[in-house]
Structure 1
Amino acid sequence: MISNVSILKNITILYAEDEAALREITLNILKGFTKKQLVAENGAEGLELFKKNESEIDIIITDVNMPIMNGLEMIREIKKINPNIPIIVATAFSNTEYLLEAIDIGVDKYVLKPIDMKKLLQLMSQSLLYHELKDLYVDNLTHLPNRNRLKKDLEDNNQGLMAMINIDKFSTINDLFGESNGDKVLLEFSDALRKYFSNDDFKLYRIEADKFLIIANDYEKDVQEFYDLCKKFEIYIEQMPVYIDEHEIDLNITIGIAKSANANAYKYVQRVISYARKKFEPILIYDDSFNIQESFEENIKWIKKIKTGVKNDNFKGYFQPIVNTQTKEVYKYEALIRYIEEDGTVVSPFKFLDIAKKAKLYPNIIKIMINEAFNLITKKNKRVAVNISFEDIASENTMSYIYSTIEKHKEFANLLEFEILESEEISDFSEVFKFIERVGNYGCKVGVDDFGAGYSNFNMLVNLNISFVKIDGSLIKNIDSSKNQKIIVRTIDEFAKKFGFSTVAEFVSSEEIYNQIKEIGVDYCQGYYFNAPLSYDEID
């Protein structure tokens, strides 16, 4: 009889009506079509029922003229709690002047009294379907437009002046305080956004869990003026902690700003916020000097080259000597990856390694390095150290390959060493312990690389069963002119020696630096003062 009425059978309805006879008649009919009915005799009762039962209420039907609190006042308060709840107003023909006001505060539909029940049920079905579609474009938590809405809006308008805001390390908040408190932080944050960037001048979007976008309604708005407003917001957020229950939560944000008349603003703002985070800049405006398009093209080129290079054997190991500090005799070699162009040009990993990691292609490279290391070990009887990251250790596929390769060459395994990249955060030390123990059973030594940079901590050295510590080059390269760096290097060296670790200094590029390292007593040295990385054929 009534189209789409089946959609109503599982819904809960809030019905507010002060006329007892009409309320009873309408309610009896609604009971036959809906799962549950909550009934109020005035707006105040309706508001209280909504507050208590918000999570289960699917639609609201309300009269306008009611005692204590009228229907429109109730709607205003409910819309503050949930702007997306479907609402149908029932009003007498003589009160149609209220309809403009009702529409203005977000009412979906209206029905005239006396109520035509067939019409009411149809409106209820239509309203629910409308909101089902509308929810595709609205973020459920903050009630801001979402990425789907943004895509449609960008299709409609090529010009754009916008700012992207990223809450730094938001996942840490979820880890420390729980996701429910993380949601409360996001709600507080979105309220602050609305306060600083009014609907009259800006459109706000939540486009990812911790990313928001602001688009100026006026494309001609001065960029510097927009920057100043974003800067004030950034200062406000960082100076005013969010309070969740008794928890004080400090937030830091990064903001990227871009303007373009040819549909590139969104692409630019994504790139500039990434650039700002790398540079530890809280706020940056995009300009053409960032060479964004060229950077994208370079990334795409290298992803293709990495994939084909793995198949065509373009990746080769180069090996930099590590010498005994006292005798200058080569003790071992560090294996370093290089890409060999078709014309023989040797390309350093600076060009491709980060891209390989981001494109999930790096596991192919670590496998190549293991093979290259064993090639030098087995054919020229050299000791070789290979860099390994925590991400490698945590990868079942990568570790399976490494263990099987070591097993294949186990008679030479005592000449293979691993340098764990200490500049990368280790989230699960149990995996590292297992790795060190397992390769140690083959006679492989394990050390910590880049110590003194990133997440350095002496406690880690004590707890890991390592054999050596490589001191980060940032502490070595100016040791001949920096008293403070010399003190730090001496401290690391003395600490390591007390626990039985040998020490290695990298970036030894001059005789002056070498003399300082020798005076301190660091066991081994590596750097261009002794030799550049060598190809397999260049090693005797």
Structure 2
Amino acid sequence: MESVFKKCIVDARNLTLLYVEDNVGARAGSMLIFEEFFGHVIEAVDGEDGLEKFKQNHVDLIITDINMPILNGLEMAERIRKMSPQTPILILSAYNEAEYFIESIRLGVEGYLLKPVEIGQFMEVLGRVIEKIHLRSEHDKLQTLLTQYVEITDKSAIVSKTDKEGVITYVNDAFCTISGFSRDEVIGEKHSIVSHKDTPQQLFKELWETISSGEMWQGIIKNRCKNGSSYYIKTAIKPIFNPQGEVVEYIALYNDITEVMNPKKQLFDYINSTPEAVVVLLKIEDFSTVEDFYSNDLVDLLEHILGEKLLEGITKECPFGKIYTLGFGEYALAIDKNKCPLSVDMLGQKIKELLKTIEASTIHLNEIEYSASLLASLAYGGKEPYQSAHFGIKKAERAKINFIVATDLILEMQAQAQVNMGIIVAVKKALSSSGIISYFQPIIDNKTRKIAKFESLVRLVDDNHNLWFPSDFLEISKKGRYYTQITQQVLNNSFQALYETEAGITINLSAVDIEEQVTRQKIINLLDLHKEHTHRITFELLEDANVKEFETIKEFIKEVKACGVSIAIDDFGSGYSNFERLLDYEPDIIKIDGSLVKNIATDDYSISIVKTIVSFANEHDIKTVAEFVENEAIFNILKELGVDYSQGYYFSKPKLLEEYKGIVGF
């Protein structure tokens, strides 16, 4: 799946998007996402503006809101369809626009994006649209077919043909993609190979009566993929006649409307039709492990049985009408708050009791017995109850609890998202305006009390000349593409500092940095460019429990040490650091964890650990550095214990490098 997403991102870089949205705030937020994916994004402030910009520019894809002044999104789409029937159009939906779905299907839009735009759903829809764009060239070749194919070909990109007995003679790539069957598997079969058991036989009877009489049949059919999953298609089937007016074959075209018809959409429809809804989301813990361990059939059976148990257990206390099986081990329950007989506390208690009952019970999956453990999130009315419950599940997972009341949690998440967006904007501006700078803190030789090295520490200067610390922006930057750019700027700053001091320069590197090939190459290039100074460079490796490519890190260490660089290990002596990993990295320097140093004057335990580290380091010819040296008492103890270097506010806070000029050892 990851390779599919990467291909989707690469393909999107070659596309021009027309984005039509009249709400300034929504447009600004979405633009931050869209600009990351598409090669070029054209903004339009309403339907009329969008129509004019479509006429003036080459556009590969349109994403539009519906409710807009002057010309709404569907009116604009209809006019664009007349000019360019093949340009993909995606509709932004705020869940409460169900009345527009039929009209948008009639216009042949490619799908829906739910507000606010979520990366997972956006990637999913974008992948399908890009696939349809790729199929456009194949679709053009079909224009040479008989002119009587044109009417129906224009309606959809998923195609099949049968003889007059209903035996499949042709399917296109899109048919194979959506069904999961290859051409060889379906040609020669009837459409019953993809028919779903839930589709009533009366529908097929009416279908055949219509096309046998020479008329075109249109409708919605639920079909079955090869892997057993379901999909919905808006179908048009037309008989093809010979010159004598006799039916010789049938051609069928389909639009994939699964996103409109799936259980989540049904859930949204119910919530949107309810003045205020109570929503319960439930999720099977470690469902990915269940999928890996059991077959698809057993997973489907588990979801079905568990869904029935959940609905049966909860309806004894509260009359939820149905349970929505959302897939991937997730379920939802919803009820009008006015029809819920229980208070939030009482319902929460009943849900917790139900979770215990389910966990204590055994589910029989043919010959296999399974005990389910679930998480539950309750949004008792309030703002956007589904989204609040959804964020509640994520919060419960992080907190390692199985139940949470998530009413109005969306407000908290939106506020945090707004803060995060502001941080990303500040980082983006700082990168483009030399606002990513380095402060330097001296590392003192304990014997001479002179500056031996400087540690390079990243800072951000914003538009208002405020100084931001790493804790203000670095973690958020890791969630986007800016973290690597920050690292590269810090590397540039640090290597430049070699020419402003005779002391060594220490640069922090995380596992994320080293595992990134672009960053590794940047470092090698800098070492080659400044080869006469590499003996003054130390790379300080930040301890990380989530190292993914351990061998890559070992190879990197070996390569840079061959260039004369020293390797230091940060924060050694607490957390997940261990002596085995220390020997794997073969460092030249150990930086003793600050929590041990701060307490060393009052804590015998800290003294014992530091003694052990120093003894180990001396035995293996490794230098030691103590950070967080805040006063003379701590410094004297460290010096007595044989620690080689000290760093902390006792000597200096981090400052710009030029502020140290004139100091001994500079």
Same fold (TM over 0.5): yes
Which letter maps to 1:188? L
Aligned-pair distance for 1:138? Answer: 8.2
Correspondence 1:468-479 to 2 at 5 A: 468-479=589-600
Stretch of structure 1 that moved more, 250-259 or 368-377: 250-259
Aligned-pair distance for 1:126? Answer: 7.0
Query: Given that residues 363 and 370 in structure 2 are in contact (C-alpha distance below 8 angstroms), is that contact kept between their aligned partners in structure 1?
Result: yes
Aligned-pair distance for 1:255? Answer: 4.6
Partner of 1:133: 232
Of the candidates 139, 152, 161, which is equivalent to residue 278 of structure 2? Answer: 161
Partner of 1:85: 197
The question of 1:323 aligning with 2:444 is answered yes
Aligned-pair distance for 1:232? Answer: 3.9
Aligned-pair distance for 1:344? Answer: 3.1
Paired with 1:335 and 1:530, the residues of 2 have a C-alpha distance of 16
The question of 1:382 aligning with 2:503 is answered yes
Count of aligned pairs: 449
The question of 1:538 aligning with 2:652 is answered no
SS at match of 2:541: strand
Which letter maps to 2:531? K
For residues 335-394 of structure 1, the C-alpha deviation after alignment (integer angstroms, 9 at most, x for no partner) is 211112344321112111111111221011101110111122222123122221222222
Which letter maps to 2:435? N
Query: Given that residues 196 and 222 in structure 2 are in contact (C-alpha distance below 8 angstroms), is that contact kept between their aligned partners in structure 1?
Result: no
Of the candidates 249, 266, 269, which is equivalent to residue 389 of structure 2? Answer: 269
Stretch of structure 1 that moved more, 337-346 or 411-420: 337-346
Correspondence 1:294-309 to 2 at 5 A: 294-309=415-430
Paired with 1:164 and 1:117, the residues of 2 have a C-alpha distance of 42
Paired with 1:213 and 1:390, the residues of 2 have a C-alpha distance of 37
Query: Given that residues 436 and 446 in structure 1 are in contact (C-alpha distance below 8 angstroms), is that contact kept between their aligned partners in structure 2?
Result: yes
SS at match of 1:528: coil
Partner of 2:309: 195
Q: TM-score, normalised by structure 1?
A: 0.67
Stretches of structure 2 lacking an aligned partner (at least 5 in a row): 1-150, 153-157, 170-188, 224-230, 234-255, 662-666
Of the candidates 157, 162, 165, which is equivalent to residue 32 of structure 1? Answer: 165
| Distance verdict in 2 for CA 1:257–1:482, change over 3 Å | farther
Of the candidates 431, 435, 443, which is equivalent to residue 564 of structure 2? Answer: 443
Partner of 2:21: none
Query: Given that residues 137 and 148 in structure 1 are in contact (C-alpha distance below 8 angstroms), is that contact kept between their aligned partners in structure 2?
Result: no
Paired with 2:299 and 2:481, the residues of 1 have a C-alpha distance of 32
Query: Given that residues 59 and 85 in structure 1 are in contact (C-alpha distance below 8 angstroms), is that contact kept between their aligned partners in structure 2?
Result: no
| Distance verdict in 2 for CA 1:413–1:273, change over 3 Å | farther
Correspondence 1:205-354 to 2 at 5 A: 205=324, 209=328, 212-220=330-338, 221=340, 222-232=343-353, 235=356, 255-262=376-383, 264-286=384-406, 291-325=412-446, 328-354=449-475
For residues 35-86 of structure 1, the C-alpha deviation after alignment (integer angstroms, 9 at most, x for no partner) is 69xxxxxxxxxxxxxxxxxxx99649xxxxxxxxxxxxxxxxxxxxx99524
For residues 384-416 of structure 1, the C-alpha deviation after alignment (integer angstroms, 9 at most, x for no partner) is 222212222222222222222222212112212
Paired with 2:282 and 2:632, the residues of 1 have a C-alpha distance of 48
Query: Given that residues 509 and 540 in structure 2 are in contact (C-alpha distance below 8 angstroms), is that contact kept between their aligned partners in structure 1?
Result: yes
Query: Given that residues 534 and 563 in structure 2 are in contact (C-alpha distance below 8 angstroms), is that contact kept between their aligned partners in structure 1?
Result: yes
Query: Given that residues 86 and 128 in structure 1 are in contact (C-alpha distance below 8 angstroms), is that contact kept between their aligned partners in structure 2?
Result: no
Partner of 1:507: 628
Stretches of structure 1 lacking an aligned partner (at least 5 in a row): 11-29, 37-55, 61-81, 90-107
| Distance verdict in 2 for CA 1:109–1:297, change over 3 Å | same
Query: Given that residues 433 and 465 in structure 1 are in contact (C-alpha distance below 8 angstroms), is that contact kept between their aligned partners in structure 2?
Result: no
Paired with 1:373 and 1:247, the residues of 2 have a C-alpha distance of 60
Aligned-pair distance for 1:271? Answer: 3.9
| Distance verdict in 2 for CA 1:306–1:129, change over 3 Å | same
Query: Given that residues 625 and 644 in structure 2 are in contact (C-alpha distance below 8 angstroms), is that contact kept between their aligned partners in structure 1?
Result: yes
Correspondence 1:59-98 to 2 at 5 A: 59=192, 85-88=197-200
Query: Given that residues 334 and 385 in structure 1 are in contact (C-alpha distance below 8 angstroms), is that contact kept between their aligned partners in structure 2?
Result: yes
Paired with 1:285 and 1:117, the residues of 2 have a C-alpha distance of 52
User: CA-atom RMSD, angstroms?
Assistant: 4.6
Higher RCO structure (Cα 8 Å, ≥6 apart): 1
Aligned-pair distance for 1:435? Answer: 1.0
For residues 203-232 of structure 1, the C-alpha deviation after alignment (integer angstroms, 9 at most, x for no partner) is 54565746x352331425422233334434
Which letter maps to 2:309? K
SS at match of 1:434: helix
Of the candidates 571, 588, 593, which is equivalent to residue 467 of structure 1? Answer: 588
Query: Given that residues 324 and 523 in structure 1 are in contact (C-alpha distance below 8 angstroms), is that contact kept between their aligned partners in structure 2?
Result: yes
Aligned-pair distance for 1:312? Answer: 0.7
Paired with 1:483 and 1:244, the residues of 2 have a C-alpha distance of 57
Which letter maps to 2:554? F
For residues 273-327 of structure 1, the C-alpha deviation after alignment (integer angstroms, 9 at most, x for no partner) is 4444444444433467984333222111111111111011111111222334555
Stretch of structure 1 that moved more, 451-460 or 359-368: 451-460
For residues 172-194 of structure 1, the C-alpha deviation after alignment (integer angstroms, 9 at most, x for no partner) is x38xx947569856863664354
% same residue: 26
Paired with 2:604 and 2:190, the residues of 1 have a C-alpha distance of 70
Paired with 1:330 and 1:170, the residues of 2 have a C-alpha distance of 55
For residues 117-160 of structure 1, the C-alpha deviation after alignment (integer angstroms, 9 at most, x for no partner) is 736989xx878834442795589xxxx95544445445444633
Which letter maps to 1:527? G
Aligned-pair distance for 1:248? Answer: 9.9
Paired with 1:208 and 1:514, the residues of 2 have a C-alpha distance of 59
Paired with 2:633 and 2:368, the residues of 1 have a C-alpha distance of 53
Partner of 2:209: 118
Paired with 2:442 and 2:296, the residues of 1 have a C-alpha distance of 50
Paired with 1:426 and 1:276, the residues of 2 have a C-alpha distance of 25
Partner of 2:530: 409
